[in-house]
Amino acid sequence: MELGFDFIFPQLMAGMSRGMLLFLVAAGLSLIFGVMNILNFAHATFWLLGGYITYSVLTLFGPTAGISPLLVIPATLVAIAVLVLIGFAIERTLVQKMYDRDVPEQLLLTFALVLIIGDVIKLIWGVEDRSVFLGLPPVELFGQFVNLYYFVIIGVGITVFAGLHLFLHKTSFGRIVRAAVHSREMVEALGIRISTIYMVVFGIGVGLAGLAGGVVLPLTPLALGADIDLIIQCFVVVVVGGFGSIIGTFVAALLIGVTYSFAIFLWPDGALAVIFLIVIAILIVRPWGLFGTELRT
């Protein structure tokens, strides 16, 4: 097979869009662990739920207004709002009891959420795959036809990355969140309720998963069980990038997404093996990840 530009460019675009999807989901996962030290195995299941909520809003207004690309925006905003509220409720009722527990207990609780939310999805939406078709024509770029929606996902991913960076480094609440990563006691000594910070951070993280679910819906059909495959890749992204590092998560997501895009085409049966070989190689050199610190090992 000749690996010319006509092969490399489409695969690169597909890989970048896949990487941005991984980033949108893994960013919330990394943020929650970085601030709260909670490993949320149910994070990709929130992504799946966000996709189904977006689908319901689109199909509710689609028959009368037509499922246009612009309708995806309010539908996704609804999904984000619902997921943030769900995140607040779950943090208040369940997650806050796990702060002083070991990782296996955290994983047990969040895996239970995977099963519960999965059953809720079955009861409401059934077991059939769900998808929407926006009818966007491909665009010709450098002599190659590329799915126009790739640019939407890439643009959303870059925007979210820039927004999170500005939020964490340029706002007063973001600085408090970063301070809570290093010293929970210091933040509480300043009269700031750490429980409120944790609730907001968990809600933001879950909301990011809802955003990812809404954004990817026009590109990838929703299917029960897709969250399990995705959460494994998201953990890979977070580990490679460094737990708690948004920059690391962004770089690692692009690395994993692009590598997987080429590997699935060149070696379909061994694509995941290639990803984990990369993980092993990076962790041998830097056990704390590309942009993590030794304190996060």
Q: Rounded mean pLDDT of 30-49?
A: 91
Say if residue 66's pLDDT is above 60: no
Q: Which two tokens stand for residue 195?
A: 């429980």
Residue 296: band (very low, low, confident or very high) from pLDDT cuts 50, 70, 90: very low
DSSP per-residue string spanning 33-90: HHHH----TTHHHHHHHHHHHHHHHHHHHHHHH---GGGHHHHHHHHHHHHHHHHHHH
Lowest mean pLDDT among 29-38, 106-115, 187-196, 226-235: 187-196
Instruction: Label residue 144 exposed, middle or buried (CB < 10 Å: 0-12, 13-18, 19+).
Output: middle
**Whole-number Cα distances in Å, 56 to 29, 61, 208, 216:** 25, 9, 18, 14
Q: What is the pLDDT of residues 174-223, one digit of tens each?
A: 888 888 777 777 777 777 888 889 999 999 999 999 999 999 988 888 99
**Whole-number Cα distances in Å, 264 to 180, 218, 273:** 40, 21, 10
Closest CA to 219 of 76, 85, 119: 76
Is the distance from CB of 241 to CB of 292 less than 8 angstroms? yes
Lowest mean pLDDT among 48-57, 72-81, 178-187: 178-187
Question: CA quadruple 261, 262, 263, 267: dihedral positive or negative?
Answer: positive
Q: Where are the domains of the chain?
A: 5-296
Residue type, 99: Y
Q: What is the pLDDT of residues 137-148, one digit of tens each?
A: 778 777 777 888
pTM over 0.75: yes
Q: What is the pLDDT of residue 188?
A: 77
Q: What is the pLDDT of residues 247-271, one digit of tens each?
A: 999 999 999 999 988 888 888 888 8
Q: What is the pLDDT of residues 2-28, one digit of tens each?
A: 566 667 888 889 999 999 999 999 999
